[in-house]
A and B are shown apart, each in its own frame.
Chain A
Amino acid sequence: MTRGPSTFNRLSVALGLAFLYAPIVLLVVYSFNASRLVTVWGGVSTRWYAALAHDGAMLDAIGVSLRVGLVSASLATVLGLLAAMTLTRGGRFAGRGLFAGMIYAPLVLPEVVLGLSLLLLFVALGLPRGIWTVTLSHTTVTLCYAAVVIQARLADLDPSLEEAAQDLGCPPATAFVKVTLPIVAPAIAAAWMLALTLSLDDLVVASFTSGPGATTLPMRLYSQVRLGVNPEINAVSTLLIGAVATAVTLAGVWRRRRGR
């Protein structure tokens, strides 16, 4: 479309973005509120950030979430890359429909169903629930997202590039590593970030598959939120939002540099 936006077009985009961002902005602003009452403004203060630094349970939960997130995102990216290669280059093999189904279904299935089914698997296998069962569960769910992200990039790739490398004497594996992998790298990075974000954000699957001593950050936040609104949660949330904003900005800068 090339016609310029009408006033109505501009207005609907502006209102839509305002709707999306207003709650986030308010959350951040009220994390600097001196008052204990979240919705009454009592002056600017950083006391909730100081309180956070002494909240051992919350810091432990952040540690658990980071460990689960980093391990599961890395595993999911590797598995997702293999799955994406199978989807784009595997041709038509028996069971391809089932494979594609298993990749796409977790993207839309309710999390409670995924959480319950994974828990039953761990019970059937006799695995004690804890940080490793959460990590395996997150790997499974996020590998599907990683596969979809990487597969979109692989599908766009010109196969003649790799063929050219092979014609010039490259063994297939080397051609893949030297030609394809660098081109797909931004998608791999995006897939890893997406997997990490999803893992750090997940409440439902973690609640089902976690055990004692492996409380993730969302599980901790959820139990706090159930007790009522609390300015310390705003402070944690603001830090998380800041981390995400930084990561997204850095990724954008990196992409732009590569683009040139």
Chain B
Amino acid sequence: MTPDPLVPAKAGTQAGPGAHANRLGSRLRGNERWGGWWVAAIPYLWLLLFFAVPFVLVAKLSLSHTVLAIPPYAPRLDLGQGWAGLAAFARALSFETYARLAHDRLYLAAYLSSLRFAAEATAILLAIGYPIAYGIARHPSGQRQGLVLAVMLPFWTSFLIRIYAWIAILKPAGLLNQALAILHLPPLTLLNTDAGVLIGLVYAYLPFMVLPLYAVLERQDESLIEAARDLGCTPTQAFWRVTVPLSWPGVAAGALLCFIPMVGEFVIPDLLGGSSTLMLGRTLWTEFFADRDWPAASAVAIALLATLAIPIALFQRQQARVLR
């Protein structure tokens, strides 16, 4: 636990980590490519202050308890009292909030249903995204770039707006049910249901599934399929035994890229889900904004992070491999 959020950031420019920055600097000057250690130090310190330190604060707050005050939590660290203040602060921290959350059925249900939503949506995304990515990769190279751009383009338009568009489609008297009525089909109840949330998740994350899949499929060597065919494979067998196994890195990248943020998704369950749709992102939001229970919101955030740590580590390893 860091006693003061500013300490690690300041130290970086002076004593201990500063020496490391100088060592780094000398190696860079050795390269004679670009100007000095500050190139690394500026973004490094920025991320330490605005990314690493805040996470320590979240962890600290999850061990605190709520009080009616501004800000609404205790204990607060008083550095003016030196070690005594720090000791008193450390004694007042407790795992009480976690115990409270663990005994509340609602949190457990939200936790499990977040994972279920993300897993189901990832499976559907793979089933839909793979044929799209494969289809694009099979187009002549002149057309591929345009098709990839077409898949990417919706990502550039507002996420909130695209989810909002689905409300008008999925509403009981919405556009989908109007279309079904024309076809003499029974209406569907989708808005404010779990099915609505799944549709929203699949819609919003589809580009993130298609692109990594396309990246591996596009590079695949055609002669491997021909070899499989020459050795007596049917086209279907060649697809399942050559194309699919070789596309595994794309499948892993796409699945992780979608699964991780979907577990903590807030906007989609909030706008398309019903009052009974439980997801951790929404729970955190409600704890923070409606109940003003900052320790509970922090504990939920830590639970989310702990759950996502392994998928995120896998994702980073994947990224590192791509970089090399």
User: Can you list 29 A-B contacts (CB < 8 A)?
Assistant: A5-B138, A9-B139, A12-B134, A13-B132, A16-B129, A16-B151, A23-B166, A27-B165, A39-B168, A93-B24, A94-B23, A95-B20, A99-B43, A104-B315, A109-B305, A109-B312, A110-B280, A111-B264, A113-B264, A116-B58, A118-B54, A121-B54, A137-B50, A140-B46, A143-B43, A172-B34, A225-B271, A240-B161, A248-B153
Cα of A94 to Cα of B55 in the assembled complex, Å: 21
Would you give the 0/1 interface string for A115-151, flagging 1 where the beta carbon is closer than 8 Å to chain B? 0111011011100000000001101100100010001
Known: A1-B220, A82-B43, A116-B284. A17 touches B312 (CB 8 A): no
Closest to B54 in A: A117
Query: Contact: A244 with B157, CB < 8 Å?
Result: yes
Known: A2-B222, A13-B135, A123-B71. A248 touches B156 (CB 8 A): yes
Query: Contact: B168 with A38, CB < 8 Å?
Result: yes
Closest to B171 in A: A39
Q: How many contacts A-B (CB < 8 Å)?
A: 281
Q: Which residues of B contact A (CB under 8 A)?
A: 5-6, 17, 20, 23-24, 27-28, 31-35, 39-40, 42-44, 46-55, 57-58, 61, 71, 128-129, 131-132, 134-140, 147, 149-151, 153-154, 156-162, 164-169, 171, 173-175, 178, 203, 206-207, 210, 217-218, 220, 222, 256-257, 260-261, 263-267, 271, 280-281, 284-285, 288-289, 294, 297-298, 301, 304-305, 308, 312, 315-316, 319-320, 323
User: Which residues on B sit within 8 Å (CB–CB) of A159?
Assistant: 33
CB distance from B257 to the nearest CB of A (A): 7
Chain B binding surface SS class: helix
- Which of the 9-residue segments A43-51, A54-62, A197-205 touches chain B? A197-205
Query: With A222-B160, A237-B158 given, can you name 7 additional A-B contacts, CB distance below 8 Å?
Result: A39-B173, A82-B40, A91-B28, A108-B315, A118-B50, A225-B167, A237-B161
Query: Contact: A201 with B71, CB < 8 Å?
Result: no
Query: Contact: B256 with A108, CB < 8 Å?
Result: yes
Known: A2-B222, A89-B34. A121 touches B316 (CB 8 A): no
Cα of A125 to Cα of B71 in the assembled complex, Å: 12
Would you give the 0/1 interface string for A78-101, flagging 1 where the beta carbon is closer than 8 Å to chain B? 011011011101110111001111
Query: Contact: A86 with B161, CB < 8 Å?
Result: no
Chain A binding surface SS class: helix
CB distance from A148 to the nearest CB of B (A): 9
User: Which residues on A sit within 8 Å (CB–CB) of B154?
Assistant: 20-21, 24
User: Is A253 interfacial (CB-CB < 8 Å)?
Assistant: no
Cα of A109 to Cα of B72 in the assembled complex, Å: 25
Cα of A95 to Cα of B220 in the assembled complex, Å: 36
Known: A147-B43, A173-B34, A225-B167. A102 touches B51 (CB 8 A): yes
Cα of A86 to Cα of B46 in the assembled complex, Å: 14
Known: A1-B222, A16-B151. A201 touches B271 (CB 8 A): no
User: Which residues on A sit within 8 Å (CB–CB) of B140?
Assistant: 4
Q: Which residues of A contact B (CB under 8 A)?
A: 1-6, 8-13, 16-17, 19-21, 23-24, 26-27, 30, 38-39, 79-80, 82-83, 85-87, 89-91, 93-95, 98-106, 108-113, 116-118, 120-121, 123-125, 136-137, 139-140, 143, 147, 151, 155, 159, 162, 166, 172-173, 176, 197, 200-201, 203-204, 207-208, 218, 221-222, 225, 229, 233, 237, 240-241, 244, 248, 252
Query: Contact: A204 with B5, CB < 8 Å?
Result: no
Query: Contact: A24 with B175, CB < 8 Å?
Result: no
CB distance from A206 to the nearest CB of B (A): 11
User: Which residues on A sit within 8 Å (CB–CB) of B5?
Assistant: 121, 124-125
Query: Contact: A82 with B312, CB < 8 Å?
Result: no
User: Which residues on A sit within 8 Å (CB–CB) of B308?
Assistant: 108-110
